[in-house]
């Protein structure tokens, strides 16, 4: 068997109406993926206008790329750092108090390399309450990060992260339990 990219098709993936995808492309490029520090309230308004469900207190920095806001749910008091890429060909849900650090990627799509036409293989991502995704880390399709788990800097989560677990490496492995101290 071999790969034949001339046979590629997107399968079940449907981005949305072409007009909506096109308009979002320009907003994403000029507002979200811009170095200019547009106000958070403007970004939140635009996300909601395009179908995202966004809770209170979102901090969304510069150079952020979001593929399909209509497939995005963000809880209360979340932080999305500089140069984060949410490549949501499938649904992405962030619980409350989730932090996605600089340069992290949430990737809901991959390719099935066992099939000649190299079709998409999609999976939802769910980051539960209090999850922290470290800088330059990757969350792969179909992964759930349970409440208060941490994916450390430059790590790759290709399977579920258990509650309050700290994970590191590529692929990420359990290191220890996250403990909270009295403040």
What SS3 string covers 94-163? ECCCCEECCCCEEECEEECCCCCCCCEEECCEEECCCCEECCCCEECCCCEECCCCEECCCCEECCCECC
Rounded to whole angstroms, what are the CA distances from 28 to 22, 24, 128, 157?
10, 6, 25, 26
Residue 156: both structure tokens together: 């790759």
pLDDT at site 183: 75
Q: What is the pTM of this model?
A: 0.94
Band (2; pLDDT cuts 50, 70, 90): confident
- Quote the number of domains for the chain: 1
Q: Does 3 fall in a domain?
A: no
| Res 140: pLDDT | 98
Q: What tens digit of pLDDT does each residue of 56-91 get? A: 999 999 999 999 999 999 999 999 999 999 999 999
Comparing C-alpha atoms, which of 53, 71, 60 is closest to residue 34? 60
Is residue 23 one of the residues assigned to a domain?
Answer: no
Residue 4 maps to a domain: no
Domain-embedded: residue 8: no
More confident residue, 183 or 91: 91
**What's the pLDDT score for residue 107?**
98
Owning domain of residue 44 = 39-177
Q: How confident is the model at residue 10 (pLDDT cuts 50, 70, 90)?
A: confident
CATH number at residue 165: 2.160.10.10
Q: Which pLDDT tens digit goes with each residue over 108-165?
A: 999 988 989 898 999 999 999 999 999 999 999 999 999 999 999 999 999 999 999 9
Residue 10: inside a domain: no
The alpha carbon of residue 155 and the mean position of all alpha carbons in its chain are separated, in whole angstroms, by 14
* pLDDT reported for residue 9: 84
Between 67 and 13, residue with greater pLDDT: 67
Render pLDDT for 90-101 as a digit per residue (tens, 0 to 9): 999 999 999 999
Quick one: pLDDT band at residue 38, thresholds 50, 70, 90? very high
Distance CA 97, CA 75 (A): 7
* CA dist., res. 115 & res. 45, Å (int): 41
User: Does residue 153 lie in a domain region?
Assistant: yes
182 belongs to a structural domain? no
């Amino acid at each position: 068997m071999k790969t034949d990219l001339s046979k590629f098709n997107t399968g079940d993936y449907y981005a949305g109406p072409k007009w909506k995808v096109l308009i979002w492309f320009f907003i994403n490029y000029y507002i979200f993926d811009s170095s200019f520090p547009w106000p958070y309230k403007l970004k939140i308004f635009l996300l909601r206008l395009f179908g995202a469900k966004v809770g209170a207190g979102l901090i969304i920095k510069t150079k952020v790329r979001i593929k399909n806001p209509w497939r995005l749910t963000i809880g209360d008091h979340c932080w999305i750092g500089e140069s984060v890429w949410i490549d949501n060909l499938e649904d992405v849900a962030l619980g409350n108090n989730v932090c996605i650090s600089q340069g992290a990627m949430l990737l809901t799509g991959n390719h099935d390399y066992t099939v000649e036409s190299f079709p998409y293989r999609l999976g939802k991502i769910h980051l539960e309450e209090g999850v922290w995704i470290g800088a330059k880390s990757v969350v792969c399709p179909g992964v759930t990060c349970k409440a208060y788990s941490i994916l450390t800097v430059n790590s790759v989560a290709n399977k579920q992260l258990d509650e309050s677990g700290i994970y590191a490496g590529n692929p990420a492995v359990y290191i220890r339990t996250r403990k909270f101290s009295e403040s």
